[in-house]
Amino acid sequence: MEKISLRSVNPETRKYIKKQVVELHKAKKNHTEIAKTFNISYDAVSRIIRSYNKNGTILKEKTRGRKKGEKRTLTAKQEREIQRIIIDKHPEQVKLGFALWTRAAVQQLIRNQYNIDMPIRSVSNYLNRWGLTCQRPTKRAYSQDDVKRKTFMEKDYPCIAKRAKKEKASIYWGDETGINNQEYYIRGFSPKGVAPELKVFPKRETINMISAISSQGTCRFMCYEDNMTQQRFIEFMKRLIKDVSKKVFFIVDNLKVHHGKIVQEWLKEHKDKIEVFYIPTYSPDLNPDEYLNNMLKQDVHSGVLPHTKEDIRKKTHSFMHNLQKNEQKIIKIFNHEKLRYIKDCIA
């Protein structure tokens, strides 16, 4: 029978065998008998007893493997510095030709910082040890103007909110969106290595919607086909001021149609009922209505996919009508961290 190697057993079993070997040794059993009892080698028994005679006790099991930080390519200080750069900066800020922190980007960073050519596998191990995971990025337009965004959040909007309070006006946020039968990003379970199949419709069908929401939980919407025009925009504003008893401060994005000559003339004629303000260009994340659009698309594309325009319209109307009955759901939109600047003014 093949002898048991003490290295191959778990620590608890190894400790038990060593303890029993010592007990049998105290009972005057010879090495050969003890070895046969536990099916271990004569040399193993000798080492255990020799260690016991030298130390007077069963030695504590040593932790196997490398000690923390032992034989690593980077020192602890170097690791902290690399982590700081990855967390605080973009690759382009440290003159690397990468859009995001990929393994290759981190590999190049280590080479530039410390003249160390680290294998890509080792880079992966370090990233995993640091708790950094590969994730899909949030998109940000290159044309975003941080100064204008900051000015809007810290100066422009607080002034709008202050005026609204003084003039007893209602602030509404508006946006347009398109809903079609093709936009559907979802994952489903299937056997490993077999991608699930999703049937899609060859003909793209789309309807559009413009909506407006307030931090008090009210919502208005209008569906339409084709593109947004100045006349359609005016039509929606007419419906909005008809439904709202107070003056409306309407905040929208910087679409060209929102600035059109016909729109501006109409606004001058109705300035006692509505005023329009504009969010900085390429800043949908500052508009609460953008988050409503995301909720709408998720709902429309859940369950059975809409096929025709009428299917899309029905699902859109159903979601929006239910939303109008649920003020708290609309109010919760304003709890998003990027909309804190709005809540600060409400408070």
CATH code, 269: 3.30.420.10
Report if residue 230 sits inside a domain. yes
2-11 mean pLDDT: 79
Of 17-21, 172-176, 289-293, the range with the lowest mean pLDDT is: 17-21
133-159 mean pLDDT: 83
pLDDT of residue 263: 98
Looking at the chain, how many residues does it have?
347
- 112 and 154 inside one domain: no
pTM, 2 dp: 0.62
User: What range defines the domain where residue 97 resides?
Assistant: 76-129
pLDDT, tens digit, 9 for 90 and up, residues 299-337: 988 777 788 999 999 999 999 999 999 999 999 999 999
pLDDT for 183 beyond 90: no
Q: What is the CATH number of the domain that holds 15?
A: 1.10.10
- 115 and 151 inside one domain: no
- 200 and 314 inside one domain: yes
207-218 mean pLDDT: 97
40-62 mean pLDDT: 78
- 26 and 97 inside one domain: no
- 116 and 185 inside one domain: no
- As a whole number of angstroms, the distance between CA 31 and CA 24 comes to 9
C-alpha atoms less than 13 angstroms from C-alpha of 132 in its C-beta half-sphere = 18
Of 41-45, 149-153, 240-244, the range with the lowest mean pLDDT is: 41-45
Residue 169, phi then psi, degrees to nearest 5: -100, 160
Beta-sheet strand order (sheet of 206-213): 219-224, 206-213, 170-180, 248-252, 274-278
pLDDT of residue 140: 61
DSSP string covering 258-273? GG-HHHHHHHHHTTTT
- 260 and 161 inside one domain: yes
Report if residue 134 sits inside a domain. no
Question: In the predicted model, what is the mean pLDDT of the chain?
Answer: 88
- As a whole number of angstroms, the distance between CA 175 and CA 317 comes to 16
- 85 and 187 inside one domain: no
Contact present, 41 and 34 (Cβ < 8 Å): no
pLDDT for 66 beyond 80: no
- 294 and 322 inside one domain: yes
Q: Is 212 helix (H, G, I), strand (E, B) or coil?
A: strand
pLDDT for 33 beyond 90: no
pLDDT, tens digit, 9 for 90 and up, residues 242-254: 999 999 999 999 9
| Residue percentage of the chain with pLDDT more than 90 | 56
pLDDT for 184 beyond 70: no
Contact present, 236 and 222 (Cβ < 8 Å): yes
Report if residue 291 sits inside a domain. yes
Structure tokens at 169: 């006006």
Residue with the bigger pLDDT between 4 and 219: it is 219
Report if residue 254 sits inside a domain. yes
156-179 mean pLDDT: 96
Report if residue 23 sits inside a domain. yes
Of 77-91, 207-221, 275-289, the range with the lowest mean pLDDT is: 77-91
Supply the Cα-derived Rg of the chain in whole angstroms. Answer: 34
Domain boundary among 84, 104, 129: 129
pLDDT of residue 71: 61
pLDDT for 209 beyond 80: yes
- 234 and 306 inside one domain: yes
pLDDT for 189 beyond 80: no
pLDDT for 29 beyond 60: yes
**Which amino acid makes up residue 328?**
Q
Contact present, 282 and 204 (Cβ < 8 Å): no
- 322 and 175 inside one domain: yes
Model confidence band, residue 125 (pLDDT cutoffs 50, 70, 90) = very high
Cα distances from 194 to residues 184, 197, 234, 303, in angstroms, run 19, 9, 51, 22
pLDDT of residue 191: 67
Residues 6+ apart with CB under 8 A from 231: 262
- As a whole number of angstroms, the distance between CA 159 and CA 258 comes to 21
Report if residue 65 sits inside a domain. no
Contact present, 312 and 181 (Cβ < 8 Å): yes
3-state percent breakdown (helix, strand, coil) of the chain, nearest 5: 50, 10, 40
Choose from 71-75, 91-95, 144-148, 334-338 the range with maximum mean pLDDT: 334-338
Report if residue 62 sits inside a domain. no
- 82 and 50 inside one domain: no
- 156 and 101 inside one domain: no
Count structural domains, the chain: 3
Report if residue 140 sits inside a domain. no
Q: Is 201 helix (H, G, I), strand (E, B) or coil?
A: coil
